[in-house]
Chains A and B, each alone.
Chain A
């Protein structure tokens, strides 16, 4: 049972959701699939955390939600980025880049 850890790095789920939605509005499973595909299956998102995070972001005003009919003809809840969500994404991206590069530098220095 030595599977690689596919958990999302704590604290980054919001960033991943915001980034994914910055391309186009999407429903919950769409977001999960996109995250998995783009990360090449490094991260898998479970529906509990995802829907909780979506509800939270919707409430804080970063996302809007509306029920729409999908291409396959099913009703689904679509999330889209709001202006405040866009700002939050930029801030979070800057913050992440700054910290990730710092971590990368540290690791290089040690190595």
Chain B
């Protein structure tokens, strides 16, 4: 009741300030009049009575002020006044306001954008119940991760005790036919416990049963909510209906809940039982991913020990050919495993943005200090006129807060744009990119930190003004004696330069590394080459020979397209993330023991090696005569030839590839990069497509043409479809695109680093400029005396520039020391570039000095133009 009354009265006053003031002054006037009347009664003349009454009451204005400040509304009014005044002050120096707000916005915005992008990827739990218990079972071959095999999955599922559920998955990209045009869908073949591992059940229908996950088991499929709502028109009676996938009917048994995402393959829309075929001895093929849900209370170490024990036992009992006996088996967190590839790049970027934030903080501190120095006279004057310390501090706090609010608002804009840009720039393999959004908490923390620093720095001048004798301060104000502040600002600028140099070194190293990476000789001619993948589906290809026949006919058709000069098919395309490795086995010879080498297996049509432009080093290439039924032949890569035969001639020797062969080596070709630009694992075996016992249903076409090869795409697709119109063609890309994509993560890190380094350089330059021009202003009088005493313009310029150069030099020295330590952190992102590379360090230091010099030159020239007469008269 009373509080309500308080509030109401206060609000009345706020809304009707004039009425309230009039009422108060009426009351006061009446008070004085009554007092005067009382004096008259005592016998004073009316004029004297009035004067006495007035004296008793004191200053009416201050009485009014006292009464006014009693209510809570006076605080509100004071804040409003302060804010209004702060805005006026800030608008009064637009340059300062603009630079400070922009710096704040950059620091807050960039940090928020990066941390917003990185946290969900690295730290937000996977979108499943008890996600912390999800684990990946991985094989580690001397530091290189390898795909799992069905045989070991089987052993793990039977013999380990750490998992509540364990599953293996494999990519599956069936073609959906039936209603409308054929569509190639993304999905996974999974062992029956997969959805239980993730801990998510279908919303409608049911999960897979163990009996469904057997070779020749029933064809059943679980679909995603998106597929059900989209392509399947949200059919309420979908359960029990069939989808035509690769020409076979699959019974729909379940629909996943909306929002369910399969982290193993974010694009997956349907899941079918793995129904693994062990009959061909392929249980040892490395092409499965193993995931498990740990039992509650079982740690990663315990699970690793469990898995490693079983794995080793299996290897020693069965010593399969596809396993290196030294393979390690490990259990790792699924989240960690999914983000393993991008983690170093992302953490590096976070480090870079923190440096930017630091520089922004230093810069803002610097700007506020400079402003404080300029305003010392003003504050001294206000203190002399009776402003209390509290009042001055409050005013400055308000100014800092207004500035922080403006900076923060701009920061939100920077963050929003930044997040969008990051998503757009992100490398294609970035896991969980869909989870990226502006993170409110980070934004708030960023704004808070900058504000606090702003506040701390902002109130220094107020404290200073109220501590010193105002009179002295006003007298000396125009002399601009600010030695202590100048030193502090000098230190800050040096720190800024040091931080900027660290970023420059980082981006310089990444830039050099990137240049080296793109200069790598991949072993074939990347230019003007078009690639696309053709996928066969349907029963008409159940007969292996029909597959080979299709690709042969398609190749003939493609070659007739005008403009196409060379073409060929391959089972795996270099630099496309295709990865098909086999063990190439050589029998024992008199001078050499038997041996197996991990090689990339390519089944290719005639013309492929020629189209790619892989140099033939000896023997012959594969031709039309090498077909099914003719003698088995193979072409091997130079490094495989060297591994096995050293300097000897490998021609006419024989090898077996997995279960197939023996093939007679008829030629040796140069090595190429298969996996990525950075990885140069060159061991490879090329077989004629008709001589591989398990023909691949999807092959990649490579072709060259006259002019821009990308323009040939429609005609080439038409040629393929002229053989069979139902076969989807995917992944149409030029080889240069593929090359660029394999370096996506590095490029991502590089781009962001460059942006940050440029921002840092700009901020540091602004800092140097600010300190020097402030110092020139403060020293106008000194400079005037100097030139009056005969200092030449050149000497004055030299003096100012050397001051800037000293700051830059100290900063650069500190920065170089820091960079040699910190650059090790990005070593994993560098390709053939040591973290401490003198050329890079020297180049970026030189760049920094050039920029610093430019920043110095403006104040230096201004200093040289100081007119001694003017400068001395100014005081």
Cα distance, A48 to B24, chains bound together (Å): 11
Interface residues of A in 27-49 (CB under 8 A from B): 27-30, 32-33, 46-49
Determine, out of B59-67, B132-140, B580-588, the stretch whose residues face the partner at the interface: B59-67
Interface residues of B in 1-27 (CB under 8 A from A): 1-2, 5-6, 9-10, 23-24, 26-27
Partner of B71, one of A28, A59, A77: A59
A52 an interface residue at 8 Å Cβ cutoff? yes
Cα distance, A63 to B33, chains bound together (Å): 23
Contacts of B5 in A (CB 8 A): 59-61
Cα distance, A5 to B645, chains bound together (Å): 115
Residue in B closest to A31 when the chains form the complex, CB atoms: B31
Partner of B70, one of A27, A47, A52: A52
Report whether B71 and A46 are in contact in the complex, using a CB–CB cutoff of 8 Å: no
Given A74-B33, A77-B27: A51 in contact with B6 (beta carbons within 8 A): no
Given A47-B57, A48-B67, A51-B63: A60 in contact with B2 (beta carbons within 8 A): yes
Given A33-B38, A51-B24, A52-B70: A59 in contact with B9 (beta carbons within 8 A): yes
Report A41 CB to chain B, min CB distance, Å: 13
Q: What total count of A-B pairs have CB within 8 Å?
A: 73
Report whether A77 and B1 are in contact in the complex, using a CB–CB cutoff of 8 Å: no
Report whether B57 and A46 are in contact in the complex, using a CB–CB cutoff of 8 Å: yes
A87 an interface residue at 8 Å Cβ cutoff? no
Given A28-B27, A60-B5: A76 in contact with B66 (beta carbons within 8 A): no
Report whether A51 and B30 are in contact in the complex, using a CB–CB cutoff of 8 Å: no
Given A27-B34, A28-B27, A60-B2: A47 in contact with B9 (beta carbons within 8 A): no
Contacts of B2 in A (CB 8 A): 60-61
A99 an interface residue at 8 Å Cβ cutoff? no
B35 an interface residue at 8 Å Cβ cutoff? yes
A72 an interface residue at 8 Å Cβ cutoff? yes
Cα distance, A52 to B35, chains bound together (Å): 18
Cα distance, A61 to B9, chains bound together (Å): 11
A83 an interface residue at 8 Å Cβ cutoff? no
Contacts of A105 in B (CB 8 A): none
B58 an interface residue at 8 Å Cβ cutoff? yes
Q: Size of chain A's interface in residues, with CB distance under 8 A?
A: 24
B157 an interface residue at 8 Å Cβ cutoff? no
Contacts of A27 in B (CB 8 A): 30-31, 34
Q: 0/1 per residue, B69-105, Cβ < 8 Å to A? A: 0110000000000000000000000000000000000
Report whether B70 and A77 are in contact in the complex, using a CB–CB cutoff of 8 Å: no
Q: 0/1 per residue, A45-79, Cβ < 8 Å to B? A: 01111011001101111000000001010111100
Contacts of A28 in B (CB 8 A): 27, 30-31
Report whether B57 and A72 are in contact in the complex, using a CB–CB cutoff of 8 Å: no
Given A48-B63, A61-B2: A29 in contact with B30 (beta carbons within 8 A): yes
Residue in B closest to A62 when the chains form the complex, CB atoms: B2
Contacts of A46 in B (CB 8 A): 56-58, 63
Cα distance, A55 to B74, chains bound together (Å): 13
Given A59-B6, A61-B1, A75-B26: A30 in contact with B34 (beta carbons within 8 A): yes
Contacts of B27 in A (CB 8 A): 28, 51, 76-77
Cα distance, A75 to B58, chains bound together (Å): 22
Report B410 CB to chain A, min CB distance, Å: 42
Report whether B34 and A48 are in contact in the complex, using a CB–CB cutoff of 8 Å: no
Cα distance, A65 to B599, chains bound together (Å): 99
Cα distance, A58 to B12, chains bound together (Å): 14
Which of A55, A56, A58, A75 has the largest count of B CB atoms less than 10 A from its CB? Answer: A55
Q: Helix, strand, loop or mixed for chain A's interface?
A: helix
B678 an interface residue at 8 Å Cβ cutoff? no
Cα distance, A84 to B1, chains bound together (Å): 12
Report whether A55 and B38 are in contact in the complex, using a CB–CB cutoff of 8 Å: no
Report whether A60 and B6 are in contact in the complex, using a CB–CB cutoff of 8 Å: yes
Which of A47, A60, A74, A75 has the largest count of B CB atoms less than 10 A from its CB? Answer: A47
Residue in A closest to B63 when the chains form the complex, CB atoms: A48
B732 an interface residue at 8 Å Cβ cutoff? no
Residue in A closest to B60 when the chains form the complex, CB atoms: A47
Report whether B71 and A48 are in contact in the complex, using a CB–CB cutoff of 8 Å: no
Given A48-B62, A61-B2, A61-B5: A55 in contact with B31 (beta carbons within 8 A): no
Report B19 CB to chain A, min CB distance, Å: 12
Cα distance, A60 to B6, chains bound together (Å): 7
Q: 0/1 per residue, B850-861, Cβ < 8 Å to A? A: 000000000000
Contacts of B38 in A (CB 8 A): 29, 33
B836 an interface residue at 8 Å Cβ cutoff? no
Residue in B closest to A36 when the chains form the complex, CB atoms: B38
Given A55-B71, A60-B2: A49 in contact with B30 (beta carbons within 8 A): no
Cα distance, A55 to B13, chains bound together (Å): 12
B227 an interface residue at 8 Å Cβ cutoff? no
B799 an interface residue at 8 Å Cβ cutoff? no
Partner of B31, one of A29, A59, A60, A61: A29
Which of B5, B34, B56, B57 has the largest count of A CB atoms less than 10 A from its CB? Answer: B34
Interface residues of B in 28-55 (CB under 8 A from A): 28, 30-35, 37-38
Cα distance, A76 to B10, chains bound together (Å): 22
Cα distance, A4 to B33, chains bound together (Å): 26
Cα distance, A47 to B64, chains bound together (Å): 9
Report B62 CB to chain A, min CB distance, Å: 7
Cα distance, A19 to B502, chains bound together (Å): 75
Report whether B66 and A49 are in contact in the complex, using a CB–CB cutoff of 8 Å: yes
Report B135 CB to chain A, min CB distance, Å: 66
Q: Which residues of B contact A (CB under 8 A)?
A: 1-2, 5-6, 9-10, 23-24, 26-28, 30-35, 37-38, 56-58, 62-63, 66-67, 70-71
25 residue pairs of the A-B complex, CB under 8 angstroms, read A27-B34, A28-B27, A29-B30, A29-B38, A32-B35, A33-B34, A33-B38, A46-B56, A46-B63, A47-B28, A47-B57, A48-B58, A48-B62, A48-B66, A51-B27, A51-B28, A51-B67, A52-B70, A60-B5, A61-B5, A74-B33, A75-B26, A75-B30, A76-B27, A76-B30
New A-B contacts (11) at CB < 8 Å, excluding given A56-B70, A59-B5, A76-B27: A29-B35, A32-B31, A33-B34, A46-B57, A48-B63, A51-B66, A55-B71, A58-B9, A60-B2, A74-B30, A74-B34
Report, nearest first, the 7 A-B pairs whose CB atoms are least far apart. Answer: A29-B34, A48-B66, A48-B63, A52-B70, A51-B67, A29-B31, A52-B67
